[in-house]
Amino acid sequence: MGSLFAGQADKTLADLFAGPQMAVVPTEIVHLAEPSAAASHLTVQIGNAGTGGFTWTAAITPTVSWLAVHPLSDSDGQALTLAITAPAQAGCYATSIRITAGDPEVKDGLQTVAVRLLVAELYPTYLPLVVRLTP
């Protein structure tokens, strides 16, 4: 009995069995907060756009006091949780999270997520309500 392979017409066998490929979403985070606000929690998805699997590690570069990430290492398909705690001083803050695959053979195995924090006093603005009554 023969064997049958159903693939994709525009792909070669090398494309179909190319191994793991790191996919990180989002690659940029911009967060707005008031000074000394409670921590905000966001996630970064670390997936695999290829075949097989891989492990990864995360590091904040440069290290900052207003950002924490958890876990610092895991495997593909797991999310990275960010805790952003706004400093007391208003201003613009920036750092990045470097995510590195455990195996150098992983395609796109080094990715960076840019993180920017904008700290400002936020004041509510009240606008008048104008209603037109028709007879």
- HSE (side-chain half, CA atoms, 13 Å) at 113: 25
Tell me if 127 is assigned to some domain.
no
Question: Can you list the residues of the chain whose pLDDT is less than 70?
Answer: 1-9, 11-17
Report the CATH number at residue 102.
2.60.40.10
pLDDT in tens, 39-78: 999 999 999 998 889 999 999 999 999 999 999 999 998 9
The number of beta carbons lying within 10 Å of the beta carbon of residue 21 is: 18
Tell me if 124 is assigned to some domain.
no
Q: How many domains does the chain have?
A: 1
Residue 88's pLDDT is 96
Going by C-alpha positions, the residue among 69, 66, 52, 53 that lies closest to residue 113 is 69
Between CA 77 and CA 22 the distance in angstroms is 10
Q: What is the pTM of this model?
A: 0.78
- Residue 6 — φ and ψ, nearest 5°? -110, 115
- Domain, as residue range, for 110: 19-119
